[in-house]
A and B are shown apart, each in its own frame.
Chain A
Amino acid sequence: MSDSNNSIRPRGSRVGEAAAKMRADKLSAWFGGKQALREITLPLVERKVTAVIGPSGCGKSTFIRCLNRMHEVVVDARTAGDVLLDGRSIYGMDVDPVRVRRRVGMVFQKPNPFPTMSIRDNVLAGLRLSGVDPSDGGALVEEVLGQAALWEEVKDALDRPGGALSGGQQQRLCIARCLALQPEVVLMDEPCSSLDPAATAKIEELIHDLRDRYTIVVVTHSMQQAARVSDFTAFFYLGELVEYDHADVIFTKPSDPRTEDYITGRFG
């Protein structure tokens, strides 16, 4: 990599390089002819929370969907560049996207528990869908519902349908369902955008607790949320990475005027 390449990198993008669990390398993404991401190079630090912020349509959701190869599920979607997980490309010819998705879990914007399954079956769905019948399902269910801070609320109702829970509980169920596969990285795409403030606070607390075990990437359009939960923050604008740094640096002394405009609420 030549020096000229380094010079166009946003300031601070070397932050966390050494401890990166995942790394986007000149990652671009398209929907048909429309480019949604432009040459994003960004490390995702192991066992830390990285927040991706930016106005609607800036490519932040597309970015994390490229991290577990969910972007390519959309018709006509394609990517260029690379994403490394533990130093290995997840876009290599011999890499099965199914394997990638088991190591890099995802929680979606709208809670999406399986409506036909009970709470218990929802938690075990990832294993069952992979053709594994968990021998010690009960213990696993308790463990991950506990990690998702939902166990106390549902322990007497594990046979009730997952869709009968409140929105916030459904989202925590989806987090538990994701954790049951013991992923290494957890991607969260605006996990609180359909939740009320109390449920949002619960999820944020949860993100805080989970960072000891998982590498977490959270997409959010709430700057307050990014400031509260993240260790590192990346600001995206119009498909480009404008700035990446420690969260306190981004929120106190951003170096790019666009970042400053955004976090002070001048646009977006």
Chain B
Amino acid sequence: MTPELESAYSGRKLVARVATIASAGAVLLALVPLAAIFAFVVSRGLRGLSLAFFTEPVGVRGAGMANAIVGTIELVFLASAMGIPLGIAAGLYLAEYASTWLARTVRFAADVLAGVPSILVGVVVYATVVVRMKQYSAFAGAASLAIVMFPLVARTTDELARTVPDSLREAALALGASRWRTAIFVVLRTAAPGIRSGCLLAVARVCGETAPLLFTAYNNRFYSESLFAPTSTLQVQIFTYTMTANDDWHAQAWAAALVLVAIVVVLNVIARRVLVEREAA
């Protein structure tokens, strides 16, 4: 190496080292709040946990949050049942007919919808569903969560379906497959692992959504008797208890936060395990 190259190279090596250390520092810095939240929720939450917390509804003496736990799970399942199939179908359409004006319009709309504050979604569902049915309900809550999920699922499906190479689409078309069969049996199947994790993220996201539930599912001190009755959720119950001046209720809210975090983690683990088994099979 010439002296000029030598000195330029040592300069670059120094810059590279500084950059590596700086980015490692940034990663640590980003981990601090996450670790702090976890530690805080676990230490505060554990104090409020008891057997009754899981077995008794809010409205019973020595209360727990069994009805809110059931309500959260119920709503998330219902919302997923509505939001995921619709989102995947829309995402596939976006990817397969990417350059039509309808696809461009829907893609833009989905991006805007993803950025809309979720409380607005709640207001709209309140005005269209709750007012009309004259009833707060699990259905209305699930519908608003589904609307929050829809753009996330649709755009993930869209992005991933577009990474499926055209050579596979051509292979299917040349075998005499219609366009929709190609989309479902080749494109969707090839992109499935990524779409599954995208759906998982959307589910985890709505597990924590509170704002759209405040005036849709509302709240209930007992188990909800039907899908068309007000339903308690951990999210709204945390909100309700935190707004009071009662220390017992604050402890309960912390415990509920812990359970909510645990549900999200368990959901992730289960989904990941299912995914790994599928891949292995």
Interface residues of A (CB under 8 A from B): 68, 70, 73, 75, 98-99, 101-102, 105-106, 108, 110, 112-116, 125-126, 128-131, 174, 177-178, 181
Indicate which residue in A101, A105, A113, A131 contacts B181 across the interface (CB closer than 8 Å). A131
Contact in complex: B175, A125 (CB < 8 Å): yes
Interface residues of B in 157-172 (CB under 8 A from A): 165, 167-168, 170-172
Given contacts A129-B181, A130-B175, list 4 more A-B pairs with CB under 8 A: A105-B174, A112-B167, A114-B172, A114-B190
User: Residue of A at shortest CB range from B189?
Assistant: A116
Residues in A whose Cβ lies below 8 Å from that of B167: 108, 110, 112
Chain B residues at the A interface, C-beta cutoff of 8 Å: 99, 165, 167-168, 170-178, 181-182, 185-186, 189-190, 192
For B192, list chain A residues within 8 Å (CB): 116
Q: Given A70-B170, A129-B185: A75 and B99 within 8 A (CB)?
A: yes
Majority SS of interface residues in chain B?
Answer: helix
Q: Determine whether the beta carbon of A129 is less than 8 Å from that of B170.
A: no
Residue of B nearest to A102 (CB): B176
* Residues B170 and A130 in contact, CB atoms below 8 Å apart: no
Contacts of A99 in B (CB 8 A): 176
Complex-state Cα separation, A110 to B189, whole angstroms = 20
- Complex: A85 Cα to B177 Cα, angstroms: 20
Specify which of B176, B182, B186, B192 lies most central, judged by the most chain A CB atoms within 10 Å of its CB. B176
List A contacts of B175 (CB < 8 A): 101-102, 105, 125-126, 129-130, 177-178, 181
Chain B residues within an 8 Å CB radius of A68: 174
A106 CB contacts on chain B under 8 angstroms: 174
Some 27 contacts from A to B, beta carbons below 8 A apart, are A73-B170, A75-B99, A98-B176, A101-B175, A101-B176, A102-B175, A102-B176, A106-B174, A110-B167, A112-B167, A112-B168, A112-B170, A113-B171, A114-B172, A114-B186, A126-B176, A128-B185, A129-B172, A129-B175, A129-B176, A129-B177, A129-B182, A129-B185, A130-B175, A130-B177, A178-B174, A178-B175
Residues of A within 8 A of B174 (CB): 68, 70, 101, 105-106, 108, 178
A70 to chain B: which residues have CB within 8 Å? 170, 173-174
In the assembled complex, the CB of B204 is this many whole angstroms from the nearest CB of chain A, namely: 25
Contact, CB under 8 Å: A101 / B190: no
Q: Establish whether residues B168 and A114, one from each chain, have CB atoms under 8 Å apart when the complex forms.
A: yes
- Residue numbers in B under 8 Å from A102 (CB-CB): 175-176
A residues near B189, Cβ cutoff 8 Å: 114, 116
Query: Using Cβ atoms and an 8 Å threshold, which residues of chain B touch A115?
Result: 168, 190
B171, A112: Cβ atoms under 8 Å? yes
Chain B residues with CB below 8 A from A181, complex form: 175-176
**Bound Cα distance from A174 to B171, whole angstroms:** 9
User: What separation, in Å, do the CA atoms of A132 and B172 have in the docked complex?
Assistant: 14
**A189 vs B165: C-alpha distance in the bound complex, in angstroms?**
18
Query: Complex Cα distance A263/B186, Å?
Result: 40
Smallest Cβ-Cβ distance to B192: which chain A residue:
A116
Closest residue of chain B to A73, judged by CB? B173
Contacts of B99 in A (CB 8 A): 75
Using Cβ atoms and an 8 Å threshold, which residues of chain A touch B172? 114, 125, 129
Chain B residue numbers with a CB within 8 Å of A130 are 175-177, 181
Interface centre among A113, A125, A177 (most CB of B within 10 A): A125
**Chain A residue at smallest Cβ distance from B184:** A129
Say how far B80's CB is from chain A's closest CB, in angstroms: 23
Cβ–Cβ < 8 Å partners of B168 in chain A: 112, 114-115
Name which residue of chain A comes closest to B164, CB basis.
A115
Of the candidates B170, B175, B190, the one having the most CB atoms from chain A within 10 angstroms of its own CB is: B175
State how many angstroms separate the Cβ of A52 from the closest Cβ of chain B: 17
A128→B172 CA distance, assembly (Å): 10
| Nearest chain A residue, comparing its CB with the CB of B188 | A116
Q: Whose C-beta in chain B lies nearest to the C-beta of A130?
A: B176
Closest residue on chain B to residue A177 by CB atoms: B175
Q: State the CA gap A22–B174 with chains docked (Å).
A: 17
**B186 partner residues in chain A, CB cutoff 8 A:** 114, 129
Q: How far is the CA of A114 from the CA of B165 in the complex (A)?
A: 11
Contact call A98/B178, Cβ cutoff below 8 A: yes
